[in-house]
Structure 1
Amino acid sequence: MAQDRVEAVERALTVLDAFDADKEAFSLAELAQATGFYKSTLLRLLGSLERFDYVQRSPDGRWRLGATPVRLARRHPPSRALAARIQPLLDRLASETGETAALLEAQGGEVECRLVALPATSLRHDLRPGSRWRIESDDDPRPALPGGTMTWVALPNAPEATALWLSLSGPAGRLTGERARRALARAREALAAPQPEETP
């Protein structure tokens, strides 16, 4: 109903809707054009959204989505089901190989770490959920790892879904590609296996 509307909230949601586009970052002028708001109004709205990490401002002054929308999206039932299935596999991979095991997802020219399991050693790739990095190729999710290496395997998904990978990463002298590929292949096979139906 009209009396239930909160204009400031609706304006903030309009700003967030503007980020639902192919571009990753927007100038203030581009956001003003997309929303129809004055720049002074936009700056106030963006300031509030930034405080709660709904948006982030880069050093060049451009705006992009922050970590909060991604975190909230993971509360969606399909995301929770994915985590429930994959996290135990990552834990086992990290335990068996002594390396960092992760689920990576493509995010429009970037890769984000969705889930991770760290080995019980101080010398490791210290990857964290929410970590992001740019990629040059859609089929190569590796970040820059001076002195380290990453091996990955793509997970099958629907054509319209984002790309997902399982990865193992660690010191280059310790993690061999062949050993990592075998471990990742076993994990992917385990994911592809039919899941037992829940009993009522």
Structure 2
Amino acid sequence: MAQDRVEAVERALTVLEVFDSSQEAFALAELAEATGFYKSTLLRLLGSLARFDYVQRGEDGRWRLGGSPMRLARRHAPSQQLAVRVQPWLDRLAAETGETAALLALHPGEVECRLAALPATPLRHDLRPGSRWPVAQDADPRPVLPGGAMTCLALSVTTGEAPLWLSLSGPAGRLAPEAAHEALARARDALSGSLAGEKETPR
């Protein structure tokens, strides 16, 4: 019904709908073309969306989805269950290795960070849920990390949405790939049973 509509809200949602695309980031001109809004209107809408972290503006001036859509998506029942099972293991990996631990989802053409745990050190890979990057090679979720390194291990159990990977990342040379792989393998083996239905948590 017309009286139930709020034009400013509908305009903001129209902007967000543009990001439901294989394209990761958009210039202001591209958003204007996709929505039909003036650039001045778009800047006001994007400013409000950015304050609540629905969108983020990169150093290149292009706009990307922020962390809030992913945060809200995790309220969905399957994602909530995944977080309950996986997050304790990520916290444990980060504490034991001193590196950033994450759960990655491999989508066509891009990788998405679903969950993350940061170590208690200022020199770290500052990876956050909702972060996305293009796939460098087929079935390889690792991003380009200048001065850094990431070790990944695929989970044998998935949620049916996308292949899932566990990862450890940080400054290059601080954590040997062999040690990172062993730590990830222990978590993977435990999580394989947990995600299949066993309520196993780290002790």
Calculate the TM-score normalised by the size of structure 2: 0.75
Residue 77 of structure 1 aligns with which residue?
77
CA apart distance, 1:95: 4.5
Residue 157 (structure 1) aligns with = 158
Percent identity over the alignment is: 67
Deviation at 1:85, TM superposition (A): 0.3
Q: Tell me, yes or no, if the aligned pair for 2:100 and 2:118 is still in contact at 8 Å.
A: yes
- The Cα shift of 1:38 comes to 3.1
Residue 136 (structure 1) aligns with: 136
- Deviation per CA, 1:13-67: give whole Å up to 9, x if none: 1111121112112233322332233333333322322332222233444322222
Matched, 1:176 2:166: no
| CA shift in 2, pair 1:67/1:158, >3 Å | closer
Distance (Å, rounded) in 2 between the aligned partners of 1:43 and 1:124: 34
Partner in structure 2 of residue 125 of structure 1 = 124
Alignment partner of 2:140: what SS? coil
The 5-angstrom pairing of residues 99-118 of structure 1 reads 99-106=99-106, 111-118=111-118
Secondary structure at the counterpart of residue 37 of structure 1: coil
3-state SS in 2 of match to 1:125:
coil
Cα contact 2:99–2:125 (8 A) shared by 1: no
| 185, 188, 197: which one aligns with 1:195 | 197
SS at 1:175 equivalent: coil
Superposed CA RMSD: 3.1
- Cα separation, 2, equivalents of 1:111 and 1:104: 7
Q: Which has the higher contact order (CA 8 A, sep 6+)?
A: 2
Deviation at 1:153, TM superposition (A): 0.4
The equivalent residue for 1:52 is: 52
Larger Rg: 1
Q: Judge which range, 13-22 or 177-186, deviates more.
A: 177-186
SS at match of 1:136: coil
Separation of aligned partners in 2, 1:93 and 1:61: 35
* One-letter amino acid matched to 2:126: L
Q: How far is the alpha carbon of 1:97 from its aligned partner?
A: 4.3
- Bigger shift: 108-117 or 39-48? 108-117
Aligned residues: 194
- Say if 1:48 and 1:168 are closer, same or farther in 2 by CA, change over 3 A: closer
Q: Distance in 1 between matches of 2:150 and 2:49?
A: 35
Question: Which SS does the other structure have where 1:153 is aligned?
Answer: strand
- Quote the residue 1:41 is aligned against: 41
CA distance in 1 between counterparts of 2:91 and 2:28 reads 43
Q: 1:139-197 CA deviation, whole Å, 9 max, x = no partner? A: 33334152x543210124366x3343111235555533333223322322222214247
Q: Sort the Cα spacing of 1:98 and 1:4 in 2 relative to 1 into closer, same or farther, 3 A.
A: closer
Note the residue ranges of structure 1 that are not aligned, 5 or more in a row: none
